[in-house]
Structure 1
Amino acid sequence: MDFNMKKLASDAGIFFTRAVQFTEEKFGQAEKTELDAHFENLLARADSTKNWTEKILRQTEVLLQPNPSARVEEFLYEKLDRKVPSRVTNGELLAQYMSEAASELGPTTPYGKTLIKVAEAEKRLGAAERDFIHTASINFLTPLRNFLEGDWKTISKERRLLQNRRLDLDACKARLKKAKAAEAKATCEGDTVPDFQETRPRNYILSASASALWNDEVDKSEQELRIAQTEFDRQAEVTRLLLEGISSTHANHLRCLHEFVESQTTYYAQCYRHMLDLQKQLGSSQGAIFPGTFVGTTEPASPPLSSTSPTTTAATMPVEPSMAGMAPSGETALCLEEVAPPASGTRKARVLYDYEAADSSELALLADELITVYSLPGMDPDWLIGERGNKKGKVPVTYLELLS
């Protein structure tokens, strides 16, 4: 390998000179060109932005992929410019195990049927999680990485260049100061020599010559100082413009943050709907799978619904109110026609999601519609009575936004 020894020696000399300057500045033995307060604030703001962006990026990666080994593997694939292999989510893996268990234990048994239903829900949850991770990576993680690997590297490079320009400027100031001091000393020594008419002493000639030399050195130092000052001012302006661009970075990250929140909201809303559907499927079959657990118990989980008609209560045993609207045919259900709204306590509610009634005791809902709701004494707190026109039925509270 061919080494440029002159370049290496020059770089080593520059490094040594920089080290000396930093040491003298540290101990207060050398003057340092200070930046203005606005520039210092821009530097501090940029450093804070970089530090917090790194922390937010790392923690978001942990949120999306809690497995550290998987994160390292994905990082290596990205650095090698290779496609990251598709990974099965935990929900999808659980759904696979449940499906296999149902096949082996008996898909027609109550346990096997329930395993199949839960497996389908977990599979949908896993698919929703995959979509969320993909969307969050594109809309949130990628812009943060682009800033750290692109804009911030450019800012750091220009800041290092500005630091070198500042050191060069301080070195020129020190050389000029030293040259002026030597020039003054040489001039002072020449003036003290007597002026003879015929001959002049040797030391006078040497002092005059030294004064002229230092005068040339002063002129040269002043010229170098002007050049260094110009380069420093130019580099300071370039760096300042880049630092002021942090405001645009904040605006971009703000937009990305909104998109991340929207994708996370969509993900959790999908999970909520999937679990509500699963809960409704399991609830509608609980009476058949566990006959005696939800119907005919001597101590129901919550008190039965009160009603003005004796037909609302079973002839022998009470029915749990949360299951009254989901009881199979033949069980006693709530007689909504005989339920009157209370004199006070009714409220308006906006429907958040579409809801399909499980039986005639429930009221089907459409998203964004307004209905009147109220509760009855002893009623399950997860349900309300909803009215829309001449239609009436039970509605789940989780599907509603109660209005004041």
Structure 2
Amino acid sequence: FTEEKFGQAEKTELDAHFENLLARADSTKNWTEKILRQTEVLLQPNPSARVEEFLYEKLDRKVPSRVTNGELLAQYMADAASELGPTTPYGKTLIKVAEAEKQLGAAERDFIHTASISFLTPLRNFLEGDWKTISKERRLLQNRRLDLDACKARLKKAKAAEAKATTVPDFQETRPRNYILSASASALWNDEVDKAEQELRVAQTEFDRQAEVTRLLLEGISSTHVNHLRCLHEFVKSQTTYYAQCYRHMLDLQKQLGSSQGAIFPGTFVGTTEPASPPLSSTSPTTTAATMPVVPSVASLAPPGEASLCLEEVAPPASGTRKARVLYDYEAADSSELALLADELITVYSLPGMDPDWLIGERGNKKGKVPVTYLELLS
């Protein structure tokens, strides 16, 4: 090995296909390690907690349940509401937000658990199982190659010595003893060449056998990629489910807070109802940040302290309405809301005292509340 490094010995080269398999295996191992480590950081940003989980795993002990940040925040909010007064507007809101944060924490816990099983565990199994087997067989192949190169060098030296010993003797030599020594050395080197050739055949056979074993393991990397691809789909599915749950919980919370906002702030209303961050919406050239027209107060509307509106008696003015395109399907939660279908056009306007995240929408003879985040206001 040292002579090879200094260029003083012959090295048996592997074929190009085998070298490509080795390079692909190394790349797979390196990127799998990086993806695994960064996914662990994503699921658990606290490095101390990651070290603790690693130690429990190595000791083959169950990792103790840990409270998520969302659940801890929910507990603090609930305690604050209990101390500051659960019947006050602030206390009631704290309780509602605490419940939503608790649900977010539970969703996060489920996501971490699912991602660990479906994604992290297969990656660890590859690094700690298949890759260790491949590394072991590669080391054996390296040893077999060094043995083969040593046998080749030994045979080469033996043949050179044999050729030197069998050169034509000098017949002018006056000492017959030298002829006897020359013939004896030639016979010895013949035996040495035969022995070196036999060792070379054995070393070549062992090298070929080990190369075939290693080749089969390296070709199995393709199956590893297929398995990792399936696990990646599972990870994306669990992450999609997690964020969908978070969005649903926060949308429900937003509805709860919006329904009570009229009672808490009866005299406040923000005229600009353009959504701050509509979900997955694409910007359209016709979308403008115009202010929604406000319909004058109607005597038949419910008082500000009540959340429900008498929508049947609400009549929009001749001017002051806007057209809006629906971005996503929306299923009405109750009779006061208007169900929406993606890409349809509806007429929208606002009422005094309404939650700025909602508008009154009309489609034909139907009307009801619609969420602003599902709309694209048209100029």
- TM-score, with structure 1 as normaliser: 0.75
Alignment root-mean-square deviation, CA: 7.2
Distance 1:174 1:72, change over 3 A: same
Distance 1:379 1:34, change over 3 A: farther
Q: Please give the alpha-carbon distance, in whole angstroms, between the structure 2 residues aligned to 1:340 and 1:232.
A: 90
Is 211-220 or 330-339 further displaced after alignment? 330-339
Deviation at 1:30, TM superposition (A): 0.6
Which structure 1 residue ranges, 5 or more long, are not aligned?
1-21
Deviation at 1:362, TM superposition (A): 2.1
Contact preservation (8 Å) 1:383, 1:395: yes
Deviation at 1:398, TM superposition (A): 4.4
1:266 pairs with 2:238: no
Which structure 2 residue ranges, 5 or more long, are not aligned?
none
Deviation at 1:103, TM superposition (A): 0.5
Distance 1:203 1:313, change over 3 A: closer
Contact preservation (8 Å) 2:327, 2:376: yes
Distance 1:349 1:297, change over 3 A: closer
Distance 1:160 1:384, change over 3 A: farther
Deviation at 1:275, TM superposition (A): 0.6
Could you tell me the percent identity over the aligned residues? Answer: 96
Q: Please give the alpha-carbon distance, in whole angstroms, between the structure 1 residues aligned to 2:282 and 2:186.
A: 116
Deviation at 1:261, TM superposition (A): 0.4
Contact preservation (8 Å) 2:275, 2:357: no
Distance 1:345 1:271, change over 3 A: farther
Is 37-46 or 323-332 further displaced after alignment? 323-332
Contact preservation (8 Å) 2:269, 2:356: no
Deviation at 1:142, TM superposition (A): 0.3
Deviation at 1:288, TM superposition (A): 1.3
Name which of 106, 115, 118 aligns with 2:85. Answer: 106
Deviation at 1:293, TM superposition (A): 3.0
Distance 1:399 1:143, change over 3 A: farther
Deviation at 1:283, TM superposition (A): 1.0
Contact preservation (8 Å) 1:125, 1:274: yes
Contact preservation (8 Å) 1:305, 1:379: no
Distance 1:259 1:183, change over 3 A: same
Is 255-264 or 370-379 further displaced after alignment? 370-379
Contact preservation (8 Å) 2:269, 2:354: no
Q: Please give the alpha-carbon distance, in whole angstroms, between the structure 2 residues aligned to 1:72 and 1:270.
A: 29
Deviation at 1:366, TM superposition (A): 9.7
Q: Please give the alpha-carbon distance, in whole angstroms, between the structure 2 residues aligned to 1:108 and 1:253.
A: 52
Q: Please give the alpha-carbon distance, in whole angstroms, between the structure 2 residues aligned to 1:77 and 1:248.
A: 30
Distance 1:186 1:92, change over 3 A: same
Distance 1:347 1:197, change over 3 A: farther
Deviation sequence 1:267-312 (CA, Å, 0-9, x none): 0010001111111111111121123333899999999999999999
Deviation sequence 1:54-101 (CA, Å, 0-9, x none): 000000000000000000001100110111000000000000011111
Distance 1:196 1:362, change over 3 A: closer
Distance 1:265 1:347, change over 3 A: farther
Structure of higher RCO (CA pairs closer than 8 Å, 6+ residues apart): 2
Deviation at 1:136, TM superposition (A): 0.2
Q: Please give the alpha-carbon distance, in whole angstroms, between the structure 1 residues aligned to 2:45 and 2:102.
A: 19
Contact preservation (8 Å) 1:303, 1:378: no
Deviation sequence 1:244-283 (CA, Å, 0-9, x none): 1111100100010011001000000100011111111111
Contact preservation (8 Å) 2:287, 2:377: no
* 1:270 aligned counterpart, secondary structure: helix
Distance 1:305 1:361, change over 3 A: farther
Contact preservation (8 Å) 1:169, 1:225: yes
Deviation at 1:313, TM superposition (A): 22
Is 126-135 or 294-303 further displaced after alignment? 294-303
Residue 177 of structure 1 is matched in structure 2 by 156
Contact preservation (8 Å) 2:266, 2:353: no
Distance 1:195 1:61, change over 3 A: closer
* 2:336 aligned counterpart, secondary structure: coil
Contact preservation (8 Å) 1:321, 1:379: no
Deviation sequence 1:83-139 (CA, Å, 0-9, x none): 100000000000001111111110001110010000000000000000000000000
Contact preservation (8 Å) 2:151, 2:196: yes
Distance 1:320 1:71, change over 3 A: farther
Is 123-132 or 365-374 further displaced after alignment? 365-374
Deviation sequence 1:291-347 (CA, Å, 0-9, x none): 333389999999999999999999999859999999866789999779999999999
Contact preservation (8 Å) 1:295, 1:319: no
Contact preservation (8 Å) 2:266, 2:304: no
Distance 1:169 1:129, change over 3 A: same
Deviation at 1:396, TM superposition (A): 2.5
Deviation at 1:25, TM superposition (A): 1.1
Q: Please give the alpha-carbon distance, in whole angstroms, between the structure 2 residues aligned to 1:353 and 1:315.
A: 21
Is 257-266 or 288-297 further displaced after alignment? 288-297
Contact preservation (8 Å) 2:267, 2:353: no
Q: Please give the alpha-carbon distance, in whole angstroms, between the structure 2 residues aligned to 1:225 and 1:306.
A: 71
Q: Please give the alpha-carbon distance, in whole angstroms, between the structure 1 residues aligned to 2:171 and 2:268.
A: 129
**How many residue pairs align between the two structures?**
379
Q: Please give the alpha-carbon distance, in whole angstroms, between the structure 2 residues aligned to 1:253 and 1:25.
A: 38
Distance 1:343 1:32, change over 3 A: farther
Contact preservation (8 Å) 2:358, 2:370: yes
Contact preservation (8 Å) 1:144, 1:253: yes
Q: Please give the alpha-carbon distance, in whole angstroms, between the structure 1 residues aligned to 2:280 and 2:26.
A: 63
Q: Please give the alpha-carbon distance, in whole angstroms, between the structure 2 residues aligned to 1:23 and 1:282.
A: 75
Distance 1:39 1:400, change over 3 A: farther
Deviation at 1:193, TM superposition (A): 6.3
Distance 1:279 1:180, change over 3 A: same
